[in-house]
């Protein structure tokens, strides 16, 4: 059938101090049809991540979400890139994410020389497209543009999410979204599915990846190719820029995954509004944004993984004034700062339009500017004087319901 390579040993906290990432060799012979890697360890003693590099570079990453993966020419475990298996030295990447104590491990690398290995199950058929979708909102926009409702942070089975790409697309449609960014952790294996699912479900799926480390997470939007999460954060920004992508600092204040990376330059986007903004009367996310880079464009994301774990897609909603519902047009509009964020897709929205502010569905709320300047909103579609700086719509207790830069 093939060959078996085994590695066993103990990872220690001292190994983690030396490097977060370690590599175990696996020589793949010519004519290999499939490769399967399995990891065994005591999860009570820590969390180990796994991934794979072939002779040329990245072939996939699943972090701590899986303990085995398969790569073949025609298919692969989500998170990994299918394709020809070049002969030569491959490496199993092991991330020492958390070590409470010494962790004994065993890694098996199996190589099949025939295609009848049976290591991959047939993927399930995609669900049907929703028969109906919520009507879009007609919000004032410049000629040739319209405001699209979306979410810039969501996960699938290609990392630690519960849904397939088609399932996520169908859910986003039912939630009334026009677009959603698929930002799986440290991989781009999902990118190959986006165009087909977008067409099937009539929704725009933005290619993205969440560059994920113990010192903070960042989304890179666009078809940039894989961003090497092992590099310093300045390297992520440079790689994104070279490939025409956009980088955003994710959930900068979010418990153990808050942003700790020092950077020489600031990325263009900040995920100011994340589901972890648990009490919208708090101003901590706004304070961090203004201290980090007031010029950074604010965006929002639900960070959807599965039912009951996070906010649903579109909570918050990122609105983008775009010339078309295509990934390139949406990212161009985000780059230009034509964005707004609201707590929900159907709730109050605050937009900039022709030099003014427009508050939709906000009768009785309070308009607040960066220096105060409070004003009561009257009517369901109110035009208000626009001043430089970010503005918010507040309810009676001071909770932020909508934001515009």
HEC profile of 220-277: EECCCCCCCCCCCHHHHHHHHHHCCCEEEECCCCCHHHCCCCCCCCCCCEEEEEECCC
Query: Residue 391's pLDDT is what?
Result: 97
* Band of residue 114 on the pLDDT scale cut at 50, 70, 90: confident
- Measured distance CA(190)–CA(183) in Å, rounded: 9
> Is the peptide bond between 316 and the residue preceding it cis, with omega within 30 degrees of 0?
yes
Query: Residue 219's pLDDT is what?
Result: 98
Q: What percentage of the chain reaches a pLDDT higher than 70? A: 100
**Confidence check: pLDDT of 73 > 90:** yes
Lowest mean pLDDT among 109-118, 170-179, 312-321: 109-118
Mean pLDDT, residues 77-82: 98
Query: Residue 84's pLDDT is what?
Result: 97
Of the candidates 96, 88, 102, the residue with the CA atom closest to the CA atom of residue 35 = 88
**Confidence check: pLDDT of 71 > 80:** yes
3-class secondary structure for the chain?
CEEEEEEEEEECHHHHHHCCEEEEEEEECCCCCEEEEEEEECCCCEEEEEEEECCCCEEEEEECCCCEEEEECCCECCCECCCCCCCEEEEEEEEEEEECCCEEEEEEEEEECCCCCCCCCCCCCCCCCCCCCCCCCCCCCCCCCEEEEEECCECCCCCCCCCCHHHHHHHHHHCCCCEEEECCECCCCCHHHHHHHHHHHCCEEEEEEEEEECCEEEEEECCCCCCCCCCCHHHHHHHHHHCCCEEEECCCCCHHHCCCCCCCCCCCEEEEEECCCCCCCCCHHHHHHHHHCCCCEEEEECCECCCCCCCCCCCCEEEEEECCCCHHHHHHHHHCCCEEEECCCCCCEEEEECCEEEEECCCCCEEEECCEEEEECCCCEEEEECCCCCEEEECCCCCEEEEEC
More confident residue, 370 or 222: 222
- Measured distance CA(363)–CA(235) in Å, rounded: 46
Query: Residue 92's pLDDT is what?
Result: 98
Mean pLDDT, residues 236-245: 98
Domain residue extents for the chain: 2-112, 146-346
Torsion of the alpha carbons at 212, 217, 223 and 227, rounded to the nearest 10: -50
**Confidence check: pLDDT of 302 > 80:** yes
Mean pLDDT, residues 281-308: 97
Query: Residue 1's pLDDT is what?
Result: 58
Query: Residue 386's pLDDT is what?
Result: 83
Of the candidates 292, 302, 392, 289, the residue with the CA atom closest to the CA atom of residue 349 = 392
Summarised one tens digit per residue, pLDDT across range 341-391 is 999 999 999 999 999 999 999 999 999 998 877 899 999 999 998 889 999
Whole-model pTM: value is 0.96
**Confidence check: pLDDT of 207 > 70:** yes
Topology at the third CATH level for domain 146-346: TIM Barrel (3.20.20)
- Measured distance CA(227)–CA(300) in Å, rounded: 21
Q: To the nearest whole number, what is the mean pLDDT of the chain?
A: 96
Topology at the third CATH level for domain 2-112: Jelly Rolls (2.60.120)
- Token pair for residue 244? 């025409």
Of the candidates 306, 307, 298, the residue with the CA atom closest to the CA atom of residue 277 = 298
Are the folds of 2-112 and 146-346 the same? no
CA distances 284 to 280, 291, 294, Å, are 10, 11, 14
Mean pLDDT, residues 297-304: 98
Instruction: Give, to the nearest 10 degrees, the angle between helix 191-201 and helix 165-174.
Output: 40
């Amino acid at each position: 059938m093939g060959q078996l390579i085994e590695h066993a040993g103990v990872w220690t906290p001292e190994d983690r101090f030396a490097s977060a990432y370690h590599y175990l060799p696996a020589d793949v012979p010519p004519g290999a049809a499939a490769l399967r890697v399995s990891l065994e360890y005591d999860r009570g003693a820590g969390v180990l991540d796994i991934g794979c590099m072939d002779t040329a570079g990245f072939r996939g990453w699943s972090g701590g979400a899986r303990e085995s993966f398969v790569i073949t020419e025609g298919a692969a475990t989500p998170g990994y890139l299918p394709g020809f298996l070049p002969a030569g030295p491959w490496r199993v990447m092991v991330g020492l994410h958390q070590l409470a104590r010494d962790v004994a491990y065993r890694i098996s690398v199996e190589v099949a020389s025939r295609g009848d290995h049976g290591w991959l199950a047939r993927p399930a058929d995609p669900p049907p497209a929703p028969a109906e979708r919520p009507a879009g909102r007609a919000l004032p926009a410049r000629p040739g543009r319209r405001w699209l409702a979306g979410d810039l942070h969501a996960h699938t089975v290609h990392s630690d999410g519960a849904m397939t790409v088609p399932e996520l697309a169908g859910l986003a449609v039912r939630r009334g979204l026009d677009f959603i960014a698929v930002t799986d952790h440290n991989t781009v294996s999902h990118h190959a599915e986006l165009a087909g699912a977008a067409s099937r479900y009539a929704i725009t799926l933005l290619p993205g990846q969440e560059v994920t480390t113990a010192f903070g997470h960042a989304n890179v939007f666009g078809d940039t190719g894989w961003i090497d999460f092992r590099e310093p954060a300045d390297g992520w920004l440079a790689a994104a820029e070279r490939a025409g992508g956009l980088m955003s600092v994710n959930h900068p204040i979010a418990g153990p995954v808050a942003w700790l990376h020092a950077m020489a330059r600031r990325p263009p986007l900040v995920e100011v509004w994340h589901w972890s903004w648990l009490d919208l009367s708090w101003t901590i996310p706004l304070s961090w944004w203004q201290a980090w880079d007031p010029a950074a464009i604010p965006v929002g994301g639900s960070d959807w993984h599965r039912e009951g774990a996070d906010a649903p897609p579109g909570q918050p909603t990122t609105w983008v004034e775009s010339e078309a519902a295509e990934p390139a047009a949406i990212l161009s509009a985000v780059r230009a700062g034509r964005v707004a964020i609201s707590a929900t897709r159907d709730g109050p929205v605050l937009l900039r339009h022709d030099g003014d502010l427009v508050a939709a569905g906000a009768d009785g709320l309070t308009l607040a500017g960066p220096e105060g300047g409070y004003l009561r909103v009257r009517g369901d579609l109110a035009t208000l004087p626009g001043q430089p700086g970010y503005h918010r719509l507040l309810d009676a207790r001071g909770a932020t319901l909508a934001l515009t830069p």
